[in-house]
Amino acid sequence: MTLNIPTFHLNSIGPALILTVTAVVILLLDALSPKGRRKAFFPQLSLLGLAAAAFQTYLMWGTKGTDFARMIYVDNYTFFFYFIFILGTALTVMISSKYLDDYGKNLGEYYALLLFATVGMMLMAASAHLIMLFLGLEVMSIAVYVLAGLFREDPRSNEASLKYLILGSFSSGFLLFGMAMLYGAAGGTLYLDELPKALAGHSAFAQPLTLLAIALLIVGFGFKVASAPFHMWTPDVYEGAPTCVTAFMAVGVKAAAFAAFARVFFLAFPAFRVDYTMLLWVLAVATMTIGNVTAIAQTNIKRMLAYSSIAHAGYLLVALVSANQLGAVSLLYYLLAYTLMNLGAFGVVILVGRKRDSYLSIYDYSGLGFQHPALAASMALFMFALAGMPPTAGFVGKFYIFSAAVQGGYIWLAILGVMNSLISVYYYLRITVLMYMKPAEAELGPVSFSPAVTAVLAATAAGVLLIGIFPGSLYDLAVNAVKIFPGL
Amino acid sequence: MHLPILSILIFFPLLGIGLLLFLDRKNHKVLKGAALGVALVEFIFSLPLWFNFDSGTAAMQFVERHEWIPTYGISYYIGVDGFSLLLIMLTTFLTPLCVLATWTDIQTRVKEFMICLLALMSGMIGVFVSLDLFLFYVFWEVMLIPMYLLIGVWGNPARRVYAAIKFFLFTMFGSVLMLVAILVLYFHYGQTTGVYTFDLQKMYGLNIPFHMQYWMFLAFGLAFAIKVPMFPFHTWLPDAHTEAPTVGSVILAAVLLKMGTYGFLRFNMPLFPQAAHYFVPLFSILALIGIVYGALVSMMQKDLKRLIAFSSVSHLGFVMLGLFTFTVAGIQGGIIQMINHGLSTGALFLVVGMIYERRHTRMIAEFGGLATAMPIFATIFMIVTLSSIAVPGTNGFVGEFLILLGAFKSNMLYGTIAATGVIFSACYMLWMFQRVVWGEITNEKNRDLKDLSLREIAIFAPLILFIFWIGVYPGTFLNKTKATTDNFVAMMEKAKATQVTQSQVFKGEAQ
């Protein structure tokens, strides 16, 4: 028996490889360096690795093809998501170190896990085969399970980790089960580009089997993007996990899941568009509504942002439902915008929380507006952006998403969507109300501005405004990236 | 040499904000002075608009156009015609007066207040000059934030947050539906013509099936009707007005409400002309209800600001009635009445603000006999009141007369009912005036009230000048709107006819 090893180019997974190497180096340094002298340079090292990965992605921009025996795609869609992941991770690294220091948890393995999770995300976005997708998903998920439980001594962190692990395993099971069904229905292939043809003309048995598979895949992805009714884990996990990990989950994991979600559904099931859009329509409306309505009742800022992230998953599902080019473009644009505004908001949460998350109630924001004008102004900006007010990126993103829905003929979906963003205005506004219109409840003491977090706030605030006022070139980039979906 | 006047008008206040950011927050006088300077320079910048405006043409003037998001058909496209000119001038004219009015009123967080005021100014001008639907929507929404802060931060402590949120959510409710309608319109235009654009002027000539016009008219109409506010969407207004600081009320009444009526003129009617004709009875009747209901409710108010707020509902009902006559008189009257309402109601709010500063109450029952203590104040108050009642010789008369003329021409019944509103307005205004100003001093606290200072008189002087100018020689202002109105009426005339039934609309059959 001869083993045939196909040719491949390591270059094609360059960014993922760079991050893996960086992570391994961090782990080794952590293990080998003498006690007491370590950890200081891990964030810098991670940022360096991320910058190198970004540069590598930039160099590859424009290439198109597959590699590793057609297991992964090398195309602009992948690269666009690489940039989103790298940006999200880099910002997370920057808001982490001071925060973790306070807990005495500024450890090498944190950064290594963060980078490993990013590698998993990249593989998810790049995967051209469902098994590849599953591998990427697991690489990402397992790292995030551990990250959620980073504060071992804290019961809430333990709860978050355990809950995420158990429910996450279930969802992975659903996903795998769906893939198995699909494997049968397609007559033995799981390549995304082969699936449409394979599913088209087979036995009468194939049709219901495929529908079942689609439903199971939706469950699996729905869990990862925190869509209703698979969102139950979100608030507890988001609240219990360290704030920086929450931020990472809210932007990175969601973006990765959506990258794969969109790729699989747009590429593999063109013949079943009517069926899955119907299902996603319901999920989108349920997700937006549950997320927004429940967020109103929250008094913990992290829980509020958790429900807000559920609601945002709903908006993004609207883009999937539209299933047109604009929908795909809006997905990319919105995920980037969401990364900026959400990480900015979590940066503020970390700063206002001060030492060891002492102040996480929304009432701790009372009077912030006139004690720390810049901090409050940036929080207000992020809140208005999340609510979708112009001239921020949040508005343009929602504008694109609802345009896509209208273009796809889903006017009612668009109406329900805008009504939902109206509901969301209420709880985002409440933060500004507290900051500017209520007196401080107690003297909360000074906020210690660490340079890295301040830089993140400045950069995200500027970014939210910049791509909100001049979205044109980013839009063109996204259009370029979604050209890979021939049917749209 | 073409200076981009409109862009300067939009962005100069933002530059002013940049300047304010660097000033010492403790030094209130300097902050207010700087804001006043910015507002005055802005006013001076807007003067060429008035003098170089060609009143002979209905075309857009001072047009500027730059690509913004070209692949999406979105451009930075702004211009002015007879409808917007007067409103822009009103905005630039009132803002310096508003800054002056804050001199002693606002004492906390002055810097932030001025920043909000200037941001609001920029947003208001943006709304009036936008000729691109996307651009318009952006300004329309952006402007909410500073107004929301003005009410919520500097308002009356007791209920300001409630009023601010109510204001925000009500307006947002209408505008998000308008956003969907804008998108539907955009894609419909793109599908029928092959060109995807948000250019308002191109959309004017579009032939839209009636059943689409019906829904889009309602979606746009809801956004604007809330802003106007028309009965039954007016409930946010009394709260917002009452809780807002004086200057907030002035801007809200004088300019923000006009965005609703302006929106009808600029967007609703020309974009969906058949639907506009179809909805004349509905909107006229709502306007009439507003006129009478607003007046009756005003009469019973105990709080001066609430009284004026409800009188706004009544006055804006007149404007809406005028616009929906689709006659030259009615529309010109409507536009001039928008300005009148801005001047007289703005002045009334200033009047109330000034006695509130002295007495810290706005209850009518607390006053009485102010004429003895404050003769200058009483005189000014009387002029403003008369203008609000629309006594001949003041501006209000011209507007209401033209509107009634148009209303009688189009429907006798509407005209008759509206005319009763004139009488009611005399009732509640004069009764209020009598209780506050005439008679004996009933409350000892009022005996030693200081009369108006020079600064306060200076605020009213220009307002009173224009109250009489429009009242005596309205030609100056009517000329500017003539050509645009003629063109508009002709356009609406063409779209007349088409009888459709509800069931056709719901089945999507009505063409």
Structural tokens at position B148: 């929301």
DSSP string, B60-104: -EEEEEEEEEGGGTEEEEEEE-HHHHHHHHHHHHHHHHHHHHTTT
Q: Which residues of B touch A (CB under 8 A)?
A: 68-72, 109, 134, 137-138, 141-142, 144-145, 148-149, 152-153, 160-161, 164-165, 168-169, 172-173, 176-177, 179-180, 183-184, 186-187
The phi-psi region of residue A187 (left if phi > 0; otherwise alpha if psi is between -120 and 50; otherwise beta) is: left
Question: Which pLDDT belongs to residue A202?
Answer: 62
Q: Rounded CA gap, B11 and B119, in Å?
A: 9
Contact A472 B176 (CB under 8 A): no
Contact A402 B179 (CB under 8 A): yes
In this prediction, residues A375-397 reach a mean pLDDT of: 92
Q: Rounded CA gap, B502 and B506, in Å?
A: 6
Q: Rounded CA gap, A484 and A64, in Å?
A: 9
Least confident of A47-56, A158-167, A439-448: A439-448
Question: Which pLDDT belongs to residue A204?
Answer: 66
Answer yes or no: is pLDDT of A36 > 70.
no
Structural tokens at position A71: 């297991």
Question: Which pLDDT belongs to residue A30?
Answer: 85
- The total of other beta-carbon atoms located within 10 Å of residue A55's CB is 14
- The total of other beta-carbon atoms located within 10 Å of residue B401's CB is 18
A interface mutation test: which of B162, B172, B185, B220 has the most A CBs within 10 A? Answer: B172
Structural tokens at position B244: 């807002």
Percentage, residues of chain B above pLDDT 70: 97
pLDDT band at B132 (very low <50, low <70, confident <90, very high): very high
In this prediction, residues A294-318 reach a mean pLDDT of: 93
Q: Which residues of A touch B (CB under 8 A)?
A: 370, 384, 389-391, 395, 399, 402-403, 406-407, 411, 414-415, 418-419, 421-422, 425-426, 429, 433, 436-438, 471-472, 475-476, 479
Question: In terms of Cα–Cα distance, which of B82, B124, B136, B95 is closest to B335?
Answer: B82
Which residues make Cβ contacts (< 8 Å) with residue A396, sequence separation at least 6? Answer: A333, A337, A390, A467, A468, A471
- The total of other beta-carbon atoms located within 10 Å of residue B109's CB is 19
Contact B173 A422 (CB under 8 A): yes
More confident: A271 or B184: B184
Rounded to two decimals, the pTM is: 0.93
Which of the given ranges, A28-42, A348-362, B123-137, has the highest pLDDT on average? B123-137
DSSP string, B425-475: HHHHHHHHHHHHTSS---SGGGTT-----HHHHHHHHHHHHHHHHHHH-TH
Q: Rounded CA gap, A274 and A469, in Å?
A: 35
Give contacts of B127 with chain A, Cβ < 8 Å: none
Q: Is the sign of the CA dihedral B233, B234, B237, B238 positive or negative?
A: negative
Give contacts of B141 with chain A, Cβ < 8 Å: 389-390, 395
**Among all residues of chain B, which has the CA nearest to that of A432?**
B149
Contact B176 A422 (CB under 8 A): yes
Q: Which residues of B278-306 are buried (b: 16+ CB within 10 A; e: fewer)?
A: bbeeebbbbbbbbbbbbbebbbebebbbb
pLDDT band at B1 (very low <50, low <70, confident <90, very high): very low
Answer yes or no: is pLDDT of B135 > 80.
yes
Question: Which pLDDT belongs to residue A449?
Answer: 82
Q: Rounded CA gap, A57 and B181, in Å?
A: 40
A interface mutation test: which of B169, B176, B220 has the most A CBs within 10 A? Answer: B176
CB contact at 8 A, B332 and B398: no
Answer yes or no: is pLDDT of B492 > 90.
no
B interface mutation test: which of A368, A381, A406 has the most B CBs within 10 A? Answer: A406
Measure Cα distances from B282 to B256, B288, B289, B321, B493 in Å: 23, 10, 11, 11, 19
Contact B137 A390 (CB under 8 A): yes
Of A403, A429, A475, the CB nearest to B183: A403
Of A384, A422, A472, the CB nearest to B70: A472
Question: Which pLDDT belongs to residue B511?
Answer: 55
Compute the mean pLDDT over every residue in chain B, rounded to the nearest whole number.
89
Q: Around B117, how many Cα atoms within 13 Å sit in the side-chain half-sphere?
A: 36
Which residues make Cβ contacts (< 8 Å) with residue A234, sequence separation at least 6? Answer: A226, A306, A307, A309, A310
3 state SS of B156: coil
**Environment class of B441 (CB within 10 Å of its CB; exposed 0-12, middle 13-18, buried 19+):** middle
CB contact at 8 A, B264 and B279: no
CB contact at 8 A, A314 and A288: yes
Question: In terms of Cα–Cα distance, which of A39, A178, A50, A170 is closest to A115?
Answer: A50
Question: Which pLDDT belongs to residue B505?
Answer: 66
Least confident of A38-47, A180-189, B224-233, B496-505: B496-505
Q: How many CB pairs under 8 A join A and B?
A: 77
3 state SS of A394: helix
For the packed helices A273-296 and A411-437, what is the interaxial angle rounded to 10 degrees?
A: 20
pLDDT band at B502 (very low <50, low <70, confident <90, very high): low
Q: Quote the ipTM score.
A: 0.92
- The total of other beta-carbon atoms located within 10 Å of residue B490's CB is 11
Measure Cα distances from B342 to A22, B93, B254, B396, B450 in Å: 65, 11, 4, 11, 27
pLDDT band at B372 (very low <50, low <70, confident <90, very high): confident
In this prediction, residues B241-249 reach a mean pLDDT of: 90
Answer yes or no: is pLDDT of B209 > 50.
yes
Per DSSP, helices labelled H in A354-410 are 368-371, 373-387, 393-407
Q: Rounded CA gap, B353 and B154, in Å?
A: 13
Least confident of A190-199, A400-409, B261-270: A190-199
Question: In terms of Cα–Cα distance, which of B146, B353, B340 is closest to B247?
Answer: B353
In this prediction, residues B226-244 reach a mean pLDDT of: 89
Percentage, residues of chain A above pLDDT 70: 97
Question: Which pLDDT belongs to residue A38?
Answer: 56
For the packed helices A130-148 and A108-126, what is the interaxial angle rounded to 10 degrees?
A: 160
C-alpha distance across the termini of chain B, in Å: 47
Contact B180 A391 (CB under 8 A): no
Of B69, B141, B144, the CB nearest to A471: B69
How is residue B394 annotated by DSSP? S
How is residue A252 annotated by DSSP? I
* pLDDT tens per residue across span A62-119: 888 888 888 899 999 999 999 999 999 999 999 998 888 888 888 888 999 999 999 9
Percentage, residues of chain A above pLDDT 90: 62
Which residues make Cβ contacts (< 8 Å) with residue B406, sequence separation at least 6? Answer: B322, B325, B327, B328, B329, B330, B331, B333
Measure Cα distances from B319 to B226, B238, B314, B419, B487 in Å: 14, 19, 9, 13, 19
Structural tokens at position A293: 């309505």
3 state SS of A126: helix
Compute the mean pLDDT over every residue in chain A, rounded to the nearest whole number.
90
Residue whose tokens read 């995420």: A164
Least confident of A434-443, B74-83, B198-207, B496-505: B496-505
* pLDDT tens per residue across span A120-155: 999 999 999 999 999 999 999 999 999 999 998 889
Question: Which pLDDT belongs to residue A133?
Answer: 94
Structural tokens at position A230: 């698979």
How is residue B130 annotated by DSSP? B
Question: In terms of Cα–Cα distance, which of B368, B362, B329 is closest to B348?
Answer: B362
